[in-house]
Amino acid sequence: MKRKILKSLQAWKNYPKRKPLILMGARQVGKTFILKEFGKQEYSNTVYLNFEDNPRLCKLFDASLDPKIILKALSIEMNTKITQGKSLIIFDEIQECPNALNSLKYFYENAPEQHIVAAGSLLGVKLAHVKGFPVGKVQFLTLFPLCFLEFLEALKEVQLKNFIEELKNIEPIPLNLHEKLLSYFKEYLFIGGMPEAVAEYIDSQDVSKVREIQNNILKAYSLDFAKHAPKDHIMKINQVWNSIPNQLAKENKKFIYSAIRTGGRAKEFEVALQWLIEAGLIHKTSLISTPRIPLSAYANLNVFKIYLVDVGLLGAMAHLSAKTVLHENELYQEFRGAIVENCIAQELIHSHYPLFYWTSEGKAELDFIVEQDGFIYPLEVKSGNSSKKKSLRVYNDIYHPKMLIRSSPMNLRKDGNILNCPLYLIEKLQSIISIAK
């Protein structure tokens, strides 16, 4: 399964000032697979260590953190020759071996010629609570579930994916391609981007089997809560986690602590919420008071929405029927647009947009506010074909932006200063804005 992050990994390999790399990401998004694939494609051999499957490997780091001593021990333990520049060393589940994690700074300082990557489940949680970890001595990349374009490529729709990649004009997509893309987008809303779910769909085309895999992933996450979270927060983490579909089902999707439990307050659940964020399982989008640069300076950190790491998992948590992928428009009517909005949030995260939204005292709400090249653009998400633009007009009357953006099932076009970006094109929003402005 081809992933875009391979290009970033190749860039890391070829960078002359390369540092040890830590690959972040939620459990089961494909970190181990992509690192092994990267090693297979780019190196003569790969030295793979999994500290969870083989705890004995941690002892290799007990005596010394000197890279020369570690490399010699690794070579003997793994019965392989480690050659600088030609061997890739993978430390997987590195959170299970703190000494291996700490050794990365010594590899940077004393053996920068060695190519070392690390990954692990809940690594974000671990690193957030490691005192003195030298962030400046390592590089970070984050792997997310497959985005829509990766989903298309996995389905062997390479020409369709290339067509999207090569768009150079703001003009309607040919109707047959537009309808085909919308059809695939509906499938993606159900399947999501977890690699195992996508692989099952490719192999069997059986959505019930896909849903079974999604439910198993959700069970694995719950087991992670019990295994890795602080004991006094496990129940609260589960309560926050289980409340997300209901939070998004509300017309006003603002996260409300009392929706977790009657009388619930921030001080009870904010640690649990932060744990889920650090685990990479949820994305937080904050309300901004005024759309000015930098957006982060105008964010109200106490008013926010929460989206799930994967739209397919959200559908599974909400018990969204598998038949919705088979019926025209039915999926868009389910769950009050929450599924579509969650998907757009994912695509924006993939494109490195920080998440913010805006409201105007109950008169209007815009799902996302994006910043690009010194300009701020409001983005309204519509799950259906309605042409109403009330919220965009309210925003326009107040702030007079250079361009208003609506994402919906309607075709690509620009009417005056309103750009309609089809839902399936959100991943290309940066280039579309550049063309349209």
Write out the DSSP string of 244-309: HHHHHHSSS----GGGTSTT--HHHHHHHHHHHHHTTSEEEEEEESS--SSGGGGEEEEEEEEEES
- Average pLDDT in the chain: 92
pLDDT given for residue 331 in this prediction: 47
Q: Strand pairing of 356-359 and 365-366?
A: antiparallel
Largest Cα–Cα distance in the chain? 70
Rg (CA), the chain: 23
pLDDT given for residue 327 in this prediction: 63
Tokens describing residue 408: 């919906």
For the chain, domain boundaries: 5-142, 148-436
pLDDT given for residue 362 in this prediction: 74
Parts of the chain with a pLDDT under 70: 128, 131-132, 134, 322, 324-336, 387
pLDDT given for residue 131 in this prediction: 67
Please tell me the CATH code under which domain 5-142 is placed.
Answer: 3.40.50.300
pTM for the predicted model, two decimal places: 0.93
352 closest CA partner among 246, 429, 242, 271: 429
What is the per-residue pLDDT across 386-398, written as a single tens digit (0 to 9) for each?
767 789 999 999 9
pLDDT given for residue 132 in this prediction: 63
